[in-house]
Amino acid sequence: MAAPDGPLVIGVDSSTQSTKALVVDSATGSVVARGQAPHVVTAEHDSDPEQWWRALTAALEQCGPAVAEAAAVAVAGQQHGLVTLDDEGRPVRNALLWNDTRSAPQRDRLIDELGGPAAWAERVGSVPPTSFTVTKWAWLREHEPAAAAATRAVRLPHDYLTGKLTGQETHGGTTDRGDASGSGWWSTATESYDEEILARVGLDPALLPRVVGAGEAAGTVRSGLPLPEGILVAAGTGDNMAGALGLGLAPGRPALSLGTSGTVYAVSERRPTDASGIVAGFADAWRGWLPLACTLNCTQAVDRIAALLGLDREAVAPGGQAVVLPFLDGERTPDLPYASGLVHGLRHDTSAGQLLQAAYDGAVFALLRALDLVLDEDADPAEPIVLIGGGARGTAWRETVRRLSGRAVRVPVADELVALGAAAQAAGLLLGRDPAAVARDWDTTAGPAFDPVERDEAALDRLAATLADADALLRRP
């Protein structure tokens, strides 16, 4: 390994499907080593947290000798998951993941009991969808009371892994404001846990982790790990917050991530409170805000439709009047937890390629409807969309975003941006700097740019009309 220009740091991305680790030169952002190990997710959308830890240690071991030179580490994790631990820090049950929609009845009840959508938005920054952790805890207490009673610590996925690194799984555990803001029990108005909400769902605040401040360490690495004992462990954060750090986002620049889920977000200096529930009013991983809209059905849903049609995912065709709303697993944006996929407007001459293109359109449409709400009112409409995630490398995804947005698109060459954002957080802690500024110095958004094209208003109108006309059907349990 060539001598690095600065201290080495490690960024970890523990996602739904796998854990990735990057060893990064803090001076340049160059990746000097990487590792990855898979997870297993059940059909019920839950997962054993202990396998995340095994995957993390395996990914670190794959990085080789560079790991031994690291001076700091940070973990970014999938948001909203409910991790319940016993006295010894072992999972009481599998974690309920972000894409588990079983808690829809509990969500509806909580929104009504605490004053309706506007009250929730003002209080915690978001109208909680079924993905939020508070709804999952309410479901657990109702459906698995013995598991809830056995719980001695409640953590988010990144909290759990950070605790495993520091040895503080249950006692002295930590989280950060970004990931905490997606729980539904942390108030963006007061930047503290909301005791009334916790009382409503029967959760003792003593079971929750301490929220680490910006630039503060969560602890140091314990002995017995592939990492050097005693190096700094940053607060860590949620995957979306880490993605924003990895891009070094400044206010006004939108990012659109195309993965298993789809997200559109932008950094803001103003606390968001969208009573419609379209935009989640998250905190970012530093001192600002990260208004974000998320869809449950993105690349995986479109790939499934391509498979049903017997087509390669790039085998799209223009034309036709068909509309596909690919809400295969219920949907978060729009808020349709009971929905299934819908196809409308088939004709004798509709081709399979046109139907596949309509599925892309439906997935992107749901994200672009939220774009104006995510951006501040004074944001420059000519600012390119930064396109990231697995789908960003696909021509069909990129061209669909261009055609339906009418905006320029930039596709960064840098990959693993969540892990890179975690590395920037570790570097920021080590160097005493804003981690987003560190990532900007690394020039993480460098990559090909694509000019805007004329927006396809006819396709947007068809999608909007179909969504409105099918509302009652899509809401049916």
How far apart CA 391 and CA 52 sit, in angstroms, is 24
Give the whole-angstrom CA distance, residue 93 versus residue 86.
10
Q: Which run of H or E residues covers position 50?
A: helix 49-62
First-to-last alpha carbon distance for the chain, in angstroms, is: 57
**What distances in angstroms separate CA 290 from CA 240, 243, 269, 312, one per listed residue?**
9, 11, 9, 35
Beta bridge partners of 325: 342
Query: Which ranges of 258-411 would DSSP assign to H, the alpha helix?
Result: 299-309, 352-368, 371-374, 395-405
Place of tokens 């690194």: 165
Buried-exposed string 90-103: b where 16+ CB fall within 10 A, e elsewhere: ebbbbbbbbbbbbb
For 40, 41, 134, 166, the CA distances from 94, given in Å and listed in that order, are 11, 10, 16, 22
Mention every residue, 6+ apart, whose C-beta is less than 8 A from residue 304: 328
Known active-site residue 204: no
Q: Which residues of 279-299 are buried (b: 16+ CB within 10 A; e: fewer)?
A: bbbbbbbbebbbbbbbbbbbb
Q: Is the peptide bond before 291 cis (omega within 30 degrees of 0)?
A: no
Q: For residues 338 and 193, give the distance between their C-alpha atoms in angstroms, rounded to a whole number.
A: 30
The conformation of residue 228, written as its DSSP 8-state character, comes to P
Amino acid at 193: Y
273 neighbors 121 (Cβ within 8 angstroms): yes
Q: Could you tell me whether strands 280-283 and 289-295 are parallel, antiparallel, or unpaired per DSSP bridges?
A: antiparallel
Residue of 46, 100, 194, 239 marked catalytic: 239
Which tokens in the block code for residue 41?
């997710």
As a whole number of angstroms, the distance between CA 241 and CA 282 comes to 9
SS3 464: helix
- If one counts every other C-beta atom within 10 angstroms of the C-beta of residue 387, the result is 24
Instruction: Report, as residue numbers or ranges, the catalytic residues.
Output: 239
